[in-house]
Amino acid sequence: MGNKVEISGVNTSELPVLSNEEMRKLFKKMQQGDWSARQKIINGNLRLVLSVIQRFNNRGENVDDLFQVGCIGLIKAIDNFDLSQNVRFSTYAVPMIIGEIRRYLRDNNPIRVSRSLRDTAYKALQMKESLKNKKSEEPSLKEVSEELGIPRSEIIFALDAIQDPISLFEPIYHDGGDPIFVMDQISDEKTEDENWLEGIAVREGLRKLSPREKLILAYRFYEGKTQMEVANEIGISQAQVSRLEKAALKRLKRHVKEDR
């Protein structure tokens, strides 16, 4: 009972696990009209739904809601699964569950996207999934475009429109020290730090920095390079660039305050 976790009233510690052979037998019974076999297949794959919704933990969505939506995707997969295809059920079901959750997230996105754009995006995603199942490989956007008869540029625009926005302060890397945020990956010729460096005489402060720190600041704020580009230029990791940059800026600001 110590590992008991309840989602939508389901005790996840008591969920059954079915073998591939058990699944095939139940599917045969279900297709012969045994609906109790269908219920057993659903219950035996709820752990699969749980594993999928872990991918969406950082969205801030209610776990119960995601679980219920994932179950809808699971049921659709069960009702459409073809036993004659030599494919494990989980291989077929996971994309269906993910697709159902993504549709739910897109429909509940606070940024409103036009109906026509959403329709184009959904058609493209469905065609992509269909082609992937047929060819057992990821189709190109060109192939999706040709199948739908929709220009590739329109498909790209529609897919971009339904992407979830992320914060500039979203951490994308952490090595135990200072995290690297999305904003650290973006070069901008009009950042406050750059204007500050160009607008204030900091020559004395710059003299106190190491050659590597000076080089990093020059690349970042005078040439507008991203931290990854700087890391490649001087042969160190992006995490090191981030730490050196922050330390150098902190010392420069402290030096300016002392001189006021």
pLDDT digits (tens, 9 = 90+) for 150-209: 888 888 888 877 666 555 556 655 555 566 665 565 555 554 444 444 444 456 667 777
pLDDT < 70: residue spans in the chain:
1-13, 58-60, 109-114, 162-205, 255-260
- Cβ atoms of 50 and 16 closer than 8 Å: no
* CA-based R_g, the chain, Å: 26
- CATH class for domain 112-165? mainly alpha
Which residue's structure tokens are 């939508």? 8
CATH of domain 1-108: 1.20.120.1810
pLDDT, residue 61, reads: 74
pTM metric for this prediction: 0.43
Domain boundaries, the chain: 1-108, 112-165, 171-259
Q: How far is CA 149 from CA 120, 132, 141, 142, 210, in A?
A: 11, 18, 12, 10, 58
Question: 171-259 adopts what CATH topology?
Answer: Arc Repressor Mutant, subunit A (1.10.10)
pLDDT, residue 258, reads: 61
- Cβ atoms of 238 and 180 closer than 8 Å: yes
pLDDT, residue 182, reads: 59
- Cβ atoms of 219 and 225 closer than 8 Å: yes
Report the SS3 class of residue 7: strand
pLDDT, residue 201, reads: 45
Q: Do domains 1-108 and 171-259 have the same CATH topology?
A: no
Which residue's structure tokens are 């979830």? 164
**C-alpha torsion sign, points 155, 149, 139, 66:** positive
Q: How many angstroms separate the CA atoms of 52 and 70, rounded?
A: 8
